[in-house]
């Protein structure tokens, strides 16, 4: 992570319990959705299923499925993700965070504070830095 005014400000802002909680929640939301969407897209490709065929399978608009797999910022509902997963022979499941992430993610949410805001900022930035969506027309 590059040091600069943004990161210095972020580290400072993370000392505010309300900002800390909102930033952690948003970072986790983005990382989780990106991971699920990327894994679903990989499963779609492995099944050799076009985005249009997938849309037909769940009675969705093809444009919506194209956006899901190619837009940088999507916020699909859990229902949509579950429908796509089912059409690909999968389901969405929950898993516990690794112990290290429970310390760096869960504790700040519950306590509203973190001992090392710079470490937290770096960790959350790394989580949010996922591979780009395909964008390819399939």
Q: In the chain, what are the domain boundaries?
A: 5-128
- For domain 5-128, the question of CATH label 3.40.50 is answered with no
What integer pLDDT is reported at residue 137 of this predicted model?
A: 42
Establish how many alpha carbons lie within 13 A of residue 14's alpha carbon, considering only the half-sphere containing its beta carbon: 25
How do residues 65-88 score in pLDDT, each as one tens digit? 999 998 777 889 999 999 999 999
How do residues 37-63 score in pLDDT, each as one tens digit? 999 999 999 999 999 999 999 999 999
CA 53 → CA 44, 45, 47, 62, 72, distances in Å? Answer: 10, 12, 11, 8, 22
pTM for the model: 0.81
């Amino acid at each position: 992570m590059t040091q600069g005014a943004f990161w210095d400000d972020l580290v400072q802002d993370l000392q505010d319990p309300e900002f800390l909680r909102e930033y952690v929640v948003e970072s986790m939301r983005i990382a989780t959705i990106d991971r699920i969407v990327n894994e679903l897209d990989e499963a779609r490709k492995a099944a050799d299923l076009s985005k249009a065929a997938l849309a037909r399978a769940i009675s969705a608009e093809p444009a919506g499925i194209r956006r899901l797999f190619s837009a940088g910022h999507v916020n699909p509902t859990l229902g949509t993700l579950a429908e796509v997963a089912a059409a690909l022979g999968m389901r969405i499941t929950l898993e516990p965070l690794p112990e290290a992430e429970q310390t760096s993610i869960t504790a700040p949410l519950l306590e509203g504070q973190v001992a090392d805001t710079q470490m937290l900022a770096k960790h959350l930035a790394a989580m949010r830095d996922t591979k780009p969506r395909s964008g390819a027309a399939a």
